[in-house]
Amino acid sequence: MKISTVEYVGTIATPSQTRPGPLPQIAFSGRSNVGKSSLINILLQRTRRKIARVSSTPGKTQAINFFEVNGEFYLVDLPGFGYAQVPKKMRDAWQTLIEGYIGGEDGPIGVVHLVDCRRPPTDLDLQMLDYLAGVGLPTLVVLTKMDKLKSKRARDIAIDTAAKDLGVDRDQLVPFSSLTGEGREPLLAALGDLLGEARA
């Protein structure tokens, strides 16, 4: 898949709000500070004029943002979850928003879930993957910040450990670096496959 056009087309703050249009949706999820905004900007080749807002303060994304890509699908940026300094009431509201959106009739056709390669999955990561499995959504796990691991051995250990901890096959993991661009093409190919399956 090649990225030709990207346009921000809307935001929803409650599950009942109307989606911006009828195109298929692919959602991106992950805990706060996992590097989701940076990944989206690299993936969509919007590094000069950023599409997804990158913040030094985790927990800034408090709604679901829609970006129309190539006029073919919506890339959907979900709020980051699990940041301790956000009030529990707000974290609970985000969970309700995310689950209401994902589980809705006009929800996404698949989810890309991000996990920091240097850290074990949190309980919220595991709950999210269990939830996605329960609703039967295709899910791809991306290991972010791979450039922080300087040796092949460290990378192999991180990938094997993540696969074991998350209960997924190694080939379901995409190593990614927003610094080097590693993983961009495999991730785009996976999105293309998902869209192809949805059209079939």
Asked if residue 18 has pLDDT above 60, the reply is yes
pLDDT for the residue numbered 57: 45
- pLDDT-derived band at 56, boundaries 50, 70, 90: very low
Give the separation between CA 193 and CA 196, rounded to whole angstroms: 5
pLDDT by residue (tens digit) across 109-141?
999 999 999 999 988 889 889 989 998 999 999
Give the separation between CA 152 and CA 44, rounded to whole angstroms: 27
Give the separation between CA 161 and CA 159, rounded to whole angstroms: 5
Give the separation between CA 80 and CA 31, rounded to whole angstroms: 5
* Residue 114 structural domain: 6-199
Average pLDDT over every residue of 148-172:
92
Total structural domains within the chain: 1
Question: Does 194 fall in a domain?
Answer: yes
Question: Does 1 fall in a domain?
Answer: no
pLDDT for the residue numbered 198: 82
Give the separation between CA 100 and CA 16, rounded to whole angstroms: 8
Question: Does 84 fall in a domain?
Answer: yes
In this structure, the strands spanning 6-12 and 64-69 are antiparallel
Average pLDDT over every residue of 62-85:
84
CA dihedral 68, 19, 106, 69 (to 10 degrees): 0
Whichever domain contains 186, its CATH number is 3.40.50.300
Question: Does 77 fall in a domain?
Answer: yes
Question: Does 186 fall in a domain?
Answer: yes
pTM given for the model:
0.88
Asked if residue 106 has pLDDT above 90, the reply is no
